[in-house]
Chains A and B, each alone.
Chain A
Amino acid sequence: MLLDVRDLHVEFRTRDGVAHAVNGVNFAVDAGETLAVLGESGSGKSVTAQAVMGILDVPPGRITAGRILFRGQDLLKLREQERRRVRGAGIAMIFQDALSALNPVLSVGDQLGEMFVVHRGMSRKDARARAVDLMDRVRIPAAAQRVRDYPHQFSGGMRQRIMIAMALSLEPALIIADEPTTALDVTVQAQVMELLAELQREYRMGLILITHDLGVVADVADRIAVMYAGKIVESAPVRDLYKAPAHPYTRGLLDSVPRLDRKGQELYAIKGLPPNLMRVPPGCSFHPRCPMAQDVCRTDEPPLYPVSDGRGSACHFWRECLHGPDH
């Protein structure tokens, strides 16, 4: 197993109280596998990614429990110096908004080359040559000239390609992409996603794709983990999940995607708002918004019930949900 996250808890201590952002998350990613982590904003998906990457803001953030095993080694037990060597070289990250994630006052060549200078001890000249190679790899036209340009001189799609190139530079075993296409135009989204998937296959990397966009997930992911209020509520192979969700929240998400074959019908929306992470509801945290909620949901927190091989759902009524009227 490439990455194995066990019972991860993250909290944020603020002036107004303690926010429980991640509450016991378990997941694993294999080499060459793509895991999509799906959820609304505030579900804890980005915090989970930051915790794995080791770029959580501490304080106010704090990992209170859990293990993050990367190639069998617990990253949380490493010293900062060793942890740093894993970042970029072992696990790399692609951020959502490349314009703000790239340094505005350094040329893209400097920012790409920096990886080789720091991690591989290359000379600036060699690093620059590698930067041009990388930009070629992610299909940026006229890479040799554009290597001197600054981030603001590129289009949104090109900037995101540079982010991808930066993440790929040291051929890491795992890439975490946090909403990599959200900030892009729809037409460019597909190109960037395709490029990412292609490079992942080529290098046989593990990929964790964090998104709230079900459309993106269906094309590229092998497995999906759906997060709600800091927990994984359903984890399944992508085909199974799309065919029949085993959690009412997943079903709500799927039903709220506009579909051509249901043109004219009213679009479904999950009622209510995501929970306040300082006051997560007792029992199943989804129960105030759940159409299937019973009394037991208000008191007993559901474990991740095994649904089938490699599939789990944190719903007391996963059977009813799986064989629901619509599916």
Chain B
Amino acid sequence: MGRYVLRRLLQMIPVFIGATLLIFLMVNVMGDPVAGLCGERACDPATAAALRREFGLDKPLWQQYLTYMAKVFTGDFGTAFNGQPVTELMATAFPVTVRLTVVAIVFEIVIGVTLGVVTGLKRGRPADTAVLLATLVVISVPTFVTGLMLQLLLGIKWHWIRPSVRYGTLDELIVPGLVLASVSLAYVTRLTRTSIAENKRSDYVRTAIAKGLPRHRVITRHLLRNSLIPVVTFIGTDIGALMGGAIVTERIFNIHGVGYQLYQGILRQNTQTVVGFVTVLVLVFLVANLLVDLLYAVLDPRIRYA
């Protein structure tokens, strides 16, 4: 087990470097990092040159990357367009997005897994077909359309919620969380359904029935435990994707989270904000994946002792 963890940790390093380098290159090659620093006006050449020197932008890119990463590891993510340190922006933005992601994950687990288990057990019945169709529709409608529709219906027509989020508290984030979760929710439902339906026919479930176990015990102890392993993997991997994908949801509901700050950073071509936030998101993605792998090993002894 220890060797396994170590190997996974070592594998993370090149991926982390590669992903952050890629984003660093994308931001620097595509945009002019100085352009955003003089506010709305274009910088005059002398100021621009001075700024370049100040930020070390006259050096080769790989050197800039190394300097940047060295600073990041000491906790210095640079300065945002409004003069605030990027870390301060993160401190206000990440809690909101983390809450939003948590709401989304809870929806995936509660609704997705439940629907998947029920339909997997009742395969071929009308309820199963209806849920399957519904998941297809949810997958087909892009998140931003789902979001706008729910905002229109619940926020504007029926006044159940405020159309835009003000403080980012959990209760305000319920509908946005559902929107963020929607596509993954449909995937979780389908994945759980397939997994349950497959394992239902497995030999060890037959054994459990032959042992004379009550139905609920066969389902919870033997069927669910095995069927949920791939689902847990999916949901874990989804954490990183949800946080990175929250950008659309946050824009629709005007949530001032990671997506909002990134969007602002990109609009104002503020390199440090963008690279900083993306670096943290990549790290979250990698750590979530690592945790999923470890969890997998805990849930499935065949991996643990391999």
Indicate which residue in A104, A105, A118 contacts B213 across the interface (CB closer than 8 Å): A118
Of the candidates A87, A89, A115, A153, the one whose C-beta lies within 8 Å of that of B305 is A153
Complexed CA–CA distance, A285 and B221 (Å): 44
What A residues does B222 contact at CB under 8 A?
A: 103, 106
As a 0/1 sequence over residues 201 to 221 of chain B, the CB contacts with chain A under 8 angstroms (1 = contact) are 111101111111110010001
B204 adjacent to A103 (CB under 8 Å): yes
Knowing A87-B209, A88-B210 are in contact, say whether A95-B203 is a contact too (CB < 8 A).
yes
**Is there contact, CB below 8 Å, between B301 and A150?**
yes
Min C-beta distance of A269 to chain B, whole Å:
31
Do A87 and B211 touch (CB < 8 A)? yes
Q: When the two chains form the complex, which single residue of A97, A100, A107, A115 contacts B211, counting CB atoms closer than 8 Å?
A: A115
For the complex formed, measure the closest distance between the CB of A130 and the CB atoms of chain B, giving whole angstroms: 14
Residues A104 and B210 in contact, CB atoms below 8 Å apart? no
B203 touches A100 (CB 8 A): yes
Chain A residues with CB under 8 Å of B291's CB are: none
Task: Say yes or no: B209 contacts A101, CB within 8 Å.
Answer: no
**Which of these, B204, B208, B221, contacts A104 with CB under 8 Å?**
B204
The residues of A that contact B88 with a CB separation of less than 8 Å are none
C-alpha spacing A166/B210, complex, angstroms: 11
From the candidates A107, A119, A152, name the one contacting B212 in the complex (CB within 8 A).
A119
Q: A88-B212, A118-B213, A152-B302 given as contacts; is B225 within 8 A of A105 (CB)? A: yes
Tell me if B210 and A102 are in contact (CB < 8 A): no
A5 CB to closest chain B CB, in angstroms? 17
Closest to A153 in B: B305
A contact residues around B299 at 8 Å (CB)? 105
B146 at the interface (CB under 8 A from A): no
Q: Scoring B residues 226 to 238 as 1 if CB is less than 8 Å from chain A, else 0, what string do you get?
A: 1001000000000
- CB<8 Å pairs between A and B, sample of 16: A55-B206, A87-B210, A92-B211, A95-B207, A100-B204, A103-B225, A103-B226, A105-B225, A105-B226, A107-B301, A114-B213, A114-B221, A115-B211, A118-B211, A150-B305, A152-B305
Which 10 interchain pairs have the tightest Cβ spacing? Answer: A88-B212, A87-B212, A100-B203, A150-B301, A103-B204, A101-B203, A88-B211, A93-B210, A101-B207, A84-B212
